[in-house]
Amino acid sequence: MSGMDSAMALDEVDLFGDPVIDGRLDLPTRPPLSKKLQQRLDELRSRGCSQGIAWSRQGTIASVSKDGWSLDLRFLRCHPDNGAWELSGPTPCPTVSPTPGGPICHLAWAPTSSPELAVIDAVGRITILSFSITLNRPYTVRRWDADPVDDLQAVVGCYWLPLGMAPGRQQFHVMYGPAVWTQNEYKFENSVNHAYGPWHPNMGKSALLCITTNGSLKLLFSQNSNRIEETSLELESVTSSDDLITHASICSDKNTLLIALATTSRQLKVVRVGVQWSTPQPADKQTPPGSMPLSPHLKEKNVAVTSWFQHGPSDSTLDTSMAQLSHIEMLPSCLEGSPTTEVPPVVLTVRSHVPSDSSPFDQEHQSIIDRWEVLSEQPQTLHSAFEQLGSKISAGSQLPTMTRLNKLESIIIPKIIVSIHSMQLGKVICFAFSDGTVQYRDRFTMHEIYNEHNLNSIMSLHQVGFQFMNDTPCLQVAFSPTNCSFVQICEDGSVKWNRMYYPMDDVNTALQGSHYNAMLAALSVAISPAAIQQTNLDDVLSIARPFTQKSDFTYSWIRTIVNMLKIPVDYSEESHHDQLVRNSHLQVCLSILNHLGFHGEFQPRSFGGKFAMLALNVRNIVILITIANNTPVNLKEKLSPLDDPEVVEALAGCAKWAVDLLSWLTDCIFNLLNQPTFLAMLGDAKRFPEISSYLQSRGDVSLHLLLCSSTRGFLSAACRRLTHLESLSNRATQFYEKQVAQSLRDSEHPNASARPTPALYLAYVKMQRSASSTLIKVQEFEKLVGSLSQEIRSNYQRTLAGLTSKGGRPQGQGNGQQGNANDHLVKKAQAHCELDMLLAGNPPPSFRDALYKFFHNNVTAFRNQTNPSELYFANFSLLEVDDDSKSLASRKARGLYIDVFKRAALISSVKPGVGGDDSTNELPGDETGPQWRRCVRCAAVMEDVYGHRPGFTFVLAQQRKCSCGGNWGLLPKGSLLC
C-alpha cells in the first residue's frame, strides 16, 4: 500500500505539470474585492438613493466630496490655450453646509432649462440649488434647515417630473436614428413618441417626488409665487421593521406615476399614483394665467405585490448577499417597433453576489438582473347565475381589471453593477460595472447590443469603431446628457472623465470611403438629441475635435447635421429677422463651426471659425438690442430697460462693436476691389471656381458673410438696430438737455425731479457717439447689402426657373400638385446653394455676373462716398479678427480680452499661460478686481455682473449663455482658468 501511495503522489505531480500543495492544485484565484467597493455595495443595499455623482442637462457635474459632508462642482471645458477638452478642477459649493442629519447621500438633477439640483442627506433632509447663470455657482432655492432629523424620513427613491407644454397641447419626443445606408448615402430615420405626464402646470418648471423609508410620498413643488411648498401621501402603513421600504423607483406612465417599492421583508409592490393640481379658476377674467395658487392632491392605487427574491433553477444560494437588493428601476410602457405595439411597464432589480473569502469554491462576482412585467388582464364578464345573488349585480356587470407581475427570465452577468442608465427614450438600458466597463442591452429583449460593427444601420458610436478610453475600476458612474461619455468616482475618491475615441494613427488614412461616411452619420445621430432638446453637447465636440486634422471634416459634419435635422439655411427671400434669430439649430451649426475652428485664444482661427465667430456675435448683438427695446406687454409697468444706465452703456458697447464690424467689412470689400487677381477671377468664367480657395488662403471671410443669406440677414438687422439706436440716443440727449436748460431758467424754483439722472444722460451720450461716429454711413451700407440681396434673388429666379419647366406634368397630378412639387425643387436647389456658401463653398457659377456688377457698380459707388484711408488705418481690435502673428503677440502681451456682453476691453492682471498645463494659468493675480466668467466652449469672457434693477436684470438674463450657445464657468479671482 505504501508503494501505491507513492506512485499516486507521483502521478498527481506529473499529470498536468502543475505543482500540488497539500493535495490541491495551485490555480489562479479570483482577485479580491476591494474594501471601498464592498462599502459601496453596502450603501447600495442599505438604501435606494445613494448616487454621489450626477451630470446635469446643461453640463454641471456635481459630486459628493471624499468626506461626504460637502459638494464639489465640475464641468467639461475647452482649454483656452489650445482648444483641447478636459475636466475642470473641483469648485467647492459654499451654499451646502454640513447637516446634523449625517453625510450627503444622494444627488438628483431636474430637467429644467435652468438646472435645479436636489441634495439629500442621510435622514432625508433636502436642499435644492439652482444653476441659472454659471455652471459652478448655484443659488439656494430651498434649504434643509427646517426638515426633521428622523431616520424614518430617509429618502429611498426620488424623481423629478418631466417638463410639460402649454395646456391643451400634446407633447412628443422625437428621436433621430438609425442612420440607414441606402443608395450610396445615409438616410436618417426618426420616430415620434407621445410624452406622458404628470408634469408641473407651469411650463419650464418641474417638481420633486421623494419616497421615504416609512412609506410616505412627498411632493416638493414650486408655487406660482416661486415659493417651494410640500404635500405628502402615505403609500404604506409601516407597523414593524419588516414593512420598512429600502428601495423605490418612480416613472411617468400614461399621465400617472408608476412606483415600485421593495421592503425589508423582500416584498415587491407596484403602486400607481395620480397627481391633481387643483388650480382654482380666477374670479376675474383679466387675472393672468399662472398667478393662482396651486393645491396639488395625490391619489394612490395599489397595482400588484410579489416577492423580489424568488429562487430559480439558475439562482445560487451559497451566499447571503444573493438576498440583498442593490438597484431597482421602474421602466414605463414603451412602443416597440410599430406605433401600435406597446410593451408593458417593467420592474427591474439587481442583486450582486459577492463570494466570501472563506468559501472553498472559486466563485466569480456576479450580478443577477430580475425583471417583472406589469400585466393588466382583460376584464371578465360575470356569469348570469350571479343574478340570483341580488338585484344589484346584473348579467352585464364586469369585474375590475386585474394587474399582476409576470416574472421574466433572470440575466446573470459576471460583474458588479454600480449604475443603471436608461437612454434613447427608454429603449436601451446601459449597465456600468465596477471594473469601469459599460454594457448596452435592448430594453425589450435584454439582448446585448452595440458590441459589433454595423455600418448599415447606425444608432451608436460603438457601431462604427468608437470605444471608451481606459477601463478604470470605479465605485459610481454618471453619464453625460448625450450618453457619449461618463464621469466616475474611482476607488481613491478622485473623479475621472471617460469619453469615446476612435483608434487611429493617422486621420486622413483611417477615415476613407464608407468608414468616413459612417463616422459622420454616427456623430450626427449622437448630437441630435442635444440639438433638439437644447442640452449640453460639449462631450460630442470633444470626441469630434481630433478629426479636424482632416481638412473637410467640419464642413462635411455640419452638412450631415443640416440634412438630418432639416435645418432652414435659405433666407434669401424677404422674411422677418425674427425667424432667422429664433433658428436655434442654425446657432448650433455655427457653434460647432466656431469651436472646431478655434485653436487657442492667441492662435489664428480657421476660415470657418472666423466666419462663425462673427456671425454668432452679430446675432447676439441683434438679440440684445431687440430685447432691450421691446419689453413684454405684461412687464412694461414693472421695468423699463432703456431707463437703466447700465443697459444703455451695454447697448452703446454693442453699437460700437457693430459699427466696427460694418467698417471692417467695408475695408475688406474695398481691398478685394483693389486685388487684380480677384477681379480677374470675376471676369473669367473658367477661373471663377477658384474664388473660394483664394479667399480662404487670405483668411478673408467678408464676401462669404455678404453672400450667405443668413449672415446677410444678421448684417441687415444690425444696420436697422444701429439706425434705431442713433435716433433713440438723439431724442434722449435732446430731451435731457432741454430739461437742464429749463431747470437753469427756473433756477429760482428748481424742480429736483425734473433734473436728469447724470449717469443715464452720460450713457445716452456714449450711445450717441458710438452709433453716429462711424467711418461709413450705416444707411448706405444697408442699401449696399439690399442691392446684393436683390441681385441674388433675381439670379435665383432666373437660373432656377428651368427646374419648373423641365418635364411635363406627372400623370394623375393636378396643376396645384405640380406647382407645389416645382416650388419644392426650387427651394431645395436654393437651400443647396446657400448651404454651400455657409460652409465656405464657392458661389454658384450663375453668381459671376451679379458679383461682377456688384463690385464694379455698387461697391465702387459706395467707395466714392467713403474715405478708404480712414478705414485702412482704423483700429478694429474690438472685433478680434486680426490674426497675424504681430497682432496676436501684442494682444497676448497686454492680456487684452473683449467682454462679450458690454463689448468693452478687459485687461487681465494675470499673464496668459503659454502651454496647455493648468499650472501655467494658475498664477496669483489681482484678487480684488472684478470676477470673470469664461465660456466653456469658445473661451470667450465677460465680467461677472449682477442686476440690481429690474431692467438690467431682464436684459442680462438674455446673456445666461455665451453668444456661441456655450455655458459660463465662473473664474476664480486671480486666475484665467476654471
Higher local confidence (pLDDT), 1 or 240: 240
Query: Is residue 847 assigned to a domain?
Result: yes
Query: Is residue 782 assigned to a domain?
Result: yes
Residue 398 predicted with pLDDT over 60: no
The confidence score (pLDDT) of residue 396 equals 47
User: Residue 882 burial (CB < 10 Å; 0-12/13-18/19+)?
Assistant: middle
Q: What whole-number distance in Å separates Cα of residue 508 and Cα of residue 756?
A: 65
Strands 116-121 and 126-134: antiparallel
Q: What whole-number distance in Å separates Cα of residue 264 and Cα of residue 853?
A: 84
Q: What whole-number distance in Å separates Cα of residue 71 and Cα of residue 90?
A: 9
- Sign of the four-CA dihedral 98, 101, 107, 109: negative
Of how many residues is the chain composed? Answer: 978
Average pLDDT over residues 48-59: 95
The confidence score (pLDDT) of residue 805 equals 52
Q: What whole-number distance in Å separates Cα of residue 938 and Cα of residue 943?
A: 16
The string of pLDDT tens digits covering residues 571-596 is: 998 767 889 999 999 999 999 999 99
Q: What whole-number distance in Å separates Cα of residue 672 and Cα of residue 705?
A: 14
Residues spanned by the domain of 666: 655-805+820-879
The string of pLDDT tens digits covering residues 74-97 is: 999 999 999 999 999 999 998 887
Residue 537 predicted with pLDDT over 60: yes
Residue 165 predicted with pLDDT over 60: yes
Q: What whole-number distance in Å separates Cα of residue 329 and Cα of residue 309?
A: 15
Where does 87-136 have alpha helices with state H? none
Q: What whole-number distance in Å separates Cα of residue 594 and Cα of residue 612?
A: 5
Q: What whole-number distance in Å separates Cα of residue 792 and Cα of residue 61?
A: 48
- Sequence-ordered list of residues with C-beta below 8 angstroms from that of 268, at least 6 positions apart, any chain: 260, 261, 262, 305, 306, 307, 308, 347, 349, 372, 405
Residue 27 predicted with pLDDT over 60: no
Long-range contact set of residues 739-748: C-beta below 8 Å, sequence gap at least 24: none
Query: Is residue 54 assigned to a domain?
Result: no
Amino acid in the structure at residue 86: E
Q: Is 933 helix (H, G, I), strand (E, B) or coil?
A: strand
The string of pLDDT tens digits covering residues 553-576 is: 999 999 999 999 999 999 998 767
Q: What whole-number distance in Å separates Cα of residue 309 and Cα of residue 301?
A: 24
Amino acid in the structure at residue 918: D
- Sign of the four-CA dihedral 880, 882, 883, 884: negative
Residue 212 predicted with pLDDT over 80: yes
The confidence score (pLDDT) of residue 319 equals 58
Of 664, 227, 173, the closest CA to residue 424 belongs to 173
Q: What whole-number distance in Å separates Cα of residue 832 and Cα of residue 679?
A: 26
Higher local confidence (pLDDT), 639 or 279: 639
Residue 137 predicted with pLDDT over 60: yes
Residue 530 predicted with pLDDT over 90: yes
Strands 457-458 and 342-343: unpaired
Average pLDDT over residues 788-795: 94
- Sign of the four-CA dihedral 837, 840, 845, 851: positive
Query: Is residue 712 assigned to a domain?
Result: yes
Give the CA distances from residue 25 to residues 31, 32, 205, 230, 875, in Å, rounded to whole numbers and listed in that order. 18, 19, 64, 64, 83
In Å, how far from its chain's centre is CA 293? 32
C-alpha cell at 842: 464657392
* Residue 120: DSSP 8-state: E
Diameter of the chain measured on Cα atoms: 135
How many degrees, rounded to 5, is the angle at CA 739 between CA 736 and CA 742?
155
| Residue labelled with grid coordinates 446573470 | 412
Beta strands in 491-585 (DSSP E): 495-501
The string of pLDDT tens digits covering residues 406-429 is: 999 999 999 999 999 999 989 999
Of 40, 140, 953, the closest CA to residue 477 belongs to 40
Q: How confident is the model at residue 181 (pLDDT cuts 50, 70, 90)?
A: very high
Query: Is residue 871 assigned to a domain?
Result: yes
| Residue labelled with grid coordinates 435584454 | 446
Q: Is the peptide bond before 178 cis (omega within 30 degrees of 0)?
A: yes
Q: What whole-number distance in Å separates Cα of residue 454 and Cα of residue 440?
A: 15
- Tally the domains of the chain: 1
The confidence score (pLDDT) of residue 281 equals 65
The confidence score (pLDDT) of residue 356 equals 67
Q: What whole-number distance in Å separates Cα of residue 729 and Cα of residue 71?
A: 48
Query: Is residue 963 assigned to a domain?
Result: no
- Does residue 353 contact residue 367 with C-beta atoms inside 8 Å? yes
Q: What whole-number distance in Å separates Cα of residue 308 and Cα of residue 697?
A: 68
The string of pLDDT tens digits covering residues 738-785 is: 877 776 666 655 554 445 468 899 999 999 999 988 899 999 999 999
The confidence score (pLDDT) of residue 924 equals 35
C-alpha cell at 591: 457653434
> Beta-carbon neighbour count of residue 341 at 10 Å?
10
Of 976, 891, 890, the closest CA to residue 941 belongs to 976
Residue 394 predicted with pLDDT over 70: no
Q: Which of 145-159, 346-360, 507-521, 820-834 bottoms out in mean pLDDT, i.e. has the lowest?
A: 346-360
- Sign of the four-CA dihedral 599, 601, 606, 610: positive
Of 645, 885, 673, the closest CA to residue 767 belongs to 645
Query: Is residue 229 assigned to a domain?
Result: no
Higher local confidence (pLDDT), 364 or 141: 141
Average pLDDT over residues 243-264: 94
Of 680, 713, 690, 681, the closest CA to residue 841 belongs to 690
| Residue labelled with grid coordinates 429760482 | 748
Q: What whole-number distance in Å separates Cα of residue 798 and Cα of residue 800?
A: 6
Beta strands in 786-931 (DSSP E): 896-898, 905-907
The confidence score (pLDDT) of residue 393 equals 47
Q: What whole-number distance in Å separates Cα of residue 489 and Cα of residue 473?
A: 9
Q: Which residues of 102-118 are buried (b: 16+ CB within 10 A; e: fewer)?
A: bebbbbbbbbbeebbbb
Give the number of C-alpha atoms closer than 13 A to the C-alpha of residue 376, restricted to the C-beta side: 12
Name the strands in the sheet holding 155-160, side by side, starting at the edge strand that comes first in the sequence.
155-160, 207-212, 216-222, 228-234
- Does residue 781 contact residue 668 with C-beta atoms inside 8 Å? no
Of 645, 646, 631, 628, the closest CA to residue 902 belongs to 646
Q: Which of 571-575, 696-700, 846-850 bottoms out in mean pLDDT, i.e. has the lowest?
A: 571-575
- Sequence-ordered list of residues with C-beta below 8 angstroms from that of 357, at least 6 positions apart, any chain: 32
Query: Is residue 738 assigned to a domain?
Result: yes
C-alpha cell at 370: 430580475
Q: Is 942 helix (H, G, I), strand (E, B) or coil?
A: strand
C-alpha cell at 809: 406634368
Q: What whole-number distance in Å separates Cα of residue 120 and Cα of residue 160?
A: 14
The string of pLDDT tens digits covering residues 305-323 is: 999 987 655 555 545 667 7
Q: Which of 58-62, 506-510, 727-731 bottoms out in mean pLDDT, i.e. has the lowest?
A: 506-510
C-alpha cell at 962: 455665451
